[in-house]
Amino acid sequence: MLHVVQNDAVPPPDGIFRSMFAARKSVFVDLLKWDVPVLDGRYEIDQFDDEHARYLILADRDEGHLGSARLLPTTRPHILDSLYDMLCEGPPPRGDTIFEVTRFCLDRRLCAPDRRAVRDALVAALAGHALDHGIESYTAIAEFGWYQQILAFGWRCEPLGLPCLVDGRTLAALHIFITPETPALLAAAGIRGRHAILANERLAAA
């Protein structure tokens, strides 16, 4: 089940939020060793998890987290302009129709085939959400291996500057453009919106 959470929408059950923040802690703190805030020793929550953030959350029928992404408006302080503007050759893109994709998180419990299905479902959901809500582009920051995957998804995507070594990690900033043609471009690269349904049905039935 895909939950889209934003400040003017009815929130999902609290369990879905808890499982998302716990999964973020498992991935970004326990696995990747990021130095980011942790609440109650269980949940990765930072200063950008406020009323302006919106979330795309894939969860199973038991409210278990499968994958998620956070979207931040670029008209307010966000990660790229606040912490990593050195990754951009010019000013970071900003505007009412530009959002930053952050905390793209795939649950560590997933096996490889399900991880790929959930990843594709989230990517397709990002494109669909943009088209449904007047978002024309996304910005993002990625470590180099993930950065190369994002470039290969098929959508129009451009680097905002050269990759840089920051705190021992090679990071790069991206600008992803969403147009009515984007779903077909993703599908041509093997990423289809129907993966969201297929992945959820298979995982929820397990």
By the 8 A CB rule, do 49 and 11 touch?
no
pTM, full prediction: 0.88
- The domain segmentation of the chain, as residue ranges, is 2-205
pLDDT digits over 150-188, tens only?
999 999 999 999 999 998 899 999 999 999 999 999 999
HSE-CB of 29 using CA atoms within 13 angstroms: 17
pLDDT of 131 over the 50 cut: yes
% of the chain at pLDDT higher than 90: 78
Q: How confident is the model at residue 7 (pLDDT cuts 50, 70, 90)?
A: low
pLDDT digits over 32-66, tens only?
999 999 999 999 999 999 999 999 999 888 888 99
By the 8 A CB rule, do 97 and 151 touch?
no
pLDDT of 138 over the 70 cut: yes
pLDDT digits over 18-28, tens only?
999 999 999 99
pLDDT of residue 13: 59
By the 8 A CB rule, do 65 and 19 touch?
yes
Q: Are strands 98-106 and 65-73 parallel, antiparallel or unpaired?
A: antiparallel
Which phi and psi angles does 142 have, rounded to 5°?
-145, 145
pLDDT of residue 84: 95
Q: Are strands 137-143 and 98-106 parallel, antiparallel or unpaired?
A: parallel
pLDDT digits over 76-109, tens only?
999 999 999 999 999 999 999 999 999 999 999 9
pLDDT of 205 over the 60 cut: no
pLDDT of residue 45: 95
Structure tokens at 192: 């289809």
pLDDT of residue 74: 98
2-205: which CATH topology? Aminopeptidase (3.40.630)
Q: Which of 126, 103, 121, 106 is nearest to 200 (CA)?
A: 121
